Amino acid sequence: MKKRTKVASLLLAAPLAAMAGVGDRPNVILLVADDLGYGDLSCYGATSVSTPHVDRLAASGVRFTDAHAVASTSTPSRYSLLTGEYAWRREGTDVAAGNAGMIVRPEMYTLADMFRDNGYATAAIGKWHLGLGEKTGQQDWNAPLSMAPADIGFDYSYIMAATGDRVPCVFIENGCVANYDPSAPIEVSYRQNFPGEPTGKANPELLFNLKPSPGQGHDQSIVNGISRIGYMKGGGRALWKDENIADSLVSHAVDFIKANKDNPFFMYLCTNDVHVPRFPHERFRGKSSMGLRGDAILQFDWTVGQVMEALEKAGLTENTLIILTSDNGPVLDDGYMDKAVELAGDHKPGGPFRGGKYSTFEAGTTVPFIVSWPGRVAKGKVSEALVSHIDDVSSLAALIGARLPKGAAPDSRNHLATWLGQSDESRPWVVEMSNDRTLSLREGKWKYITPSNSYKVAWGTGIETGYQRMPQLYDLDAEIDERTNLAEQNPAQVYRMQDILKQVRLNPNYGKTSNDKK
Ligand code: NG6
Ligand code: CA
């Protein structure tokens, strides 16, 4: 696959110091950015913003040019990442409200369970967006929650319940509101406001940090001078300040690294950057040429640098595998007047791909994907292999020699050799899901999109969804941005890809090889 990046690799793939394989027990950090696009990093061709720390990470490992999140929004993407099951197999995995009940249920076997069962200390830090408590809307936020990340394998957690733009705007540490303020009990509703509480809609004069974009919602409860989706009351000193979120996540991540420097650990570290509302620390505000979205990219890059520095200080660089990626494709105007559209200039957040977050076009799920493990994976390699987040449970199980219980991670396959840059073998195909649950399929250069009756543009975002009533087939080698629908000229290829989708839908074991069954 060509033309995916404007940047040529300056470094030649160095011979591997040693072939990694079963029996290794490196620390693993799965670092997931939010809404960071393929084109948002300088190592992926961005020129309007510079990301030196991420670039350094890429130079120390393998940078993939055809890697896919499972879905083009957060909740289903993360669900699949943690369970190895396609979110489209499961109802209730669409973008979750801040008072959603736990979506990954305790009986499911997760990536965190796998690490924990194999002697790793495990942590989830940052954006969660997979629900908390047993039932939607039934949580008591003033007491330990009835279900939390500990129930799905995370020994330690310090998380944001949903997204930055959804209430409750507090961190949850090990299932309890962090820094809880007994003088300000918390109530949350996604139905109605609490009497007497201001909202962005009724009290725009209170929005001293960011105002919502017209017509996209985000005009309900106000926290820190920014109105959100949903209503909340109370919180007091537990309420977050958006400008401190990255610092807070970094300090908890660094503490976890330090506390576990003598034993293997797995950290699922999910930044709030670069999701809306974008309101980075003043150290970064005004520092990019692209306004708050560019500043949030700088803050993300800083976060990566801090993690790398903490590993270095703890002497863990050589023995830590870092996977850096994003949960879904990029968006500019996602609900706040932060001038992301006006200041983007020539910047292409989705790189050469069409669409963006929410889309069924390639920018929806094509994400940055960097695998670094100094001394063990090829250094500065660029891999054009077609890979998917769905494979992380099985691939990382192979890495640490874990056996998965029967039925666990049903859609996940072991592609460890490709992930570590030891092989250039692609996945035979990759299934992608968009915001309306339209499925697409990639097979080599081909992209097939199933017909959908939905909207053409995702509300106020201006993003092309890619939905059409007709089947769509694109040859990405000929045209990487999905312009000419070749379905009519290639009925056999359309049929073939429809058949693969049908088989995968019916049977998660479809296409499994003997390697996958181990
Ligand atoms: C959308 C929100 C958007 C964002 C997204 C979730 C509206 C109009 N837009 O519904 O602002 O919060 O959900 O983003 O409500 S994600 O990256 O977590 O999937
Ligand atoms: Ca996201």
State the Cα–Cα distance between residues 405 and 389, nearest whole angstrom: 20
pLDDT of residue 513: 73
| DSSP bridge pairs for 366 | 68
> Would you say the CB of residue 35 lies under 6 angstroms from ligand 1?
yes
- φ, ψ for residue 233, nearest 5 deg: -135, 145
The three-state secondary structure class of 474 is strand
Pairwise CA distance, residues 440 & 437, whole Å: 9
Low-confidence stretches of the chain (pLDDT < 70) are: 1-23, 514-518
- The pLDDT assigned to 515 comes to 63
Which homologous superfamily does the CATH classification assign to the domain defined by 27-181+239-303+332-419? Alkaline Phosphatase, subunit A (3.40.720.10)
- Joined together, the tokens standing for residue 242 give 């958006």
Q: Is 138 exposed, middle or buried (0-12, 13-18, 19+ CB in 10 A)?
A: exposed
The predicted-structure confidence for 180-218, as pLDDT tens digits, reads as follows 999 999 999 999 999 999 999 999 999 999 999 999 999
| Ligand with smallest separation from the Cα of 217 | 1
Calpha distance 439→452 (Å, rounded): 9
Rounded to the nearest angstrom, the distance between the alpha carbon of 87 and the centre of ligand 2 is 15
- Ligand 2 centroid – CA 36 distance (Å): 8
Match 């799965």 to its residue by tokens. Answer: 30
Residue 502, number of CB atoms within 10 A of its CB: 11
Q: 334: CA distance to ligand 1 center in Å?
A: 7
Ligand 1 atom nearest to CA at 218: 15
pLDDT tens readout for residues 423-478: 999 999 999 999 999 999 999 999 999 999 888 999 999 999 999 999 999 999 99
Integer Cα distance of 464 and 37 in angstroms: 15
From the number of C-beta atoms within 10 Å of its C-beta (0-12, 13-18, 19+), residue 292 rates as buried
Find all residues with CB under 8 Å of 443, minimum gap 6, and list them.
Answer: 428, 429, 496, 497, 500
Q: What is the pLDDT of residue 516?
A: 64
* Ligand 1 atom 6: residue of nearest CA: 95
Q: Are 354 and 464 in contact (CB under 8 A)?
A: yes
Both tokens of 380, joined, read 């500065």
Identify the CA nearest to 336 among candidates 292, 401, 395. Answer: 292
CATH number of 430-506: 3.30.1120.10
CB 376 within 8 A of CB 26: yes
Give the C-alpha distances (Å, rounded to integers) separating 207 from 23, 70, 196, 199, 278. 54, 35, 17, 9, 14
In the chain, where are the structural domains located?
27-181+239-303+332-419, 430-506
271 within ligand 1 shell (Cβ under 6 A): no
Residue 334 CA: which ligand is closest? 1
At 454 the pLDDT is 85
Instruction: Supply the pTM of this predicted model.
Output: 0.96
Give the ligand 1 atom nearest the CA of 165. 12
Ligand nearest to the CA of 365: 2
CA–centroid distance, residue 338 to ligand 1 (Å): 15
The pLDDT of residue 251:
98
As a residue count, the chain comes to: 518
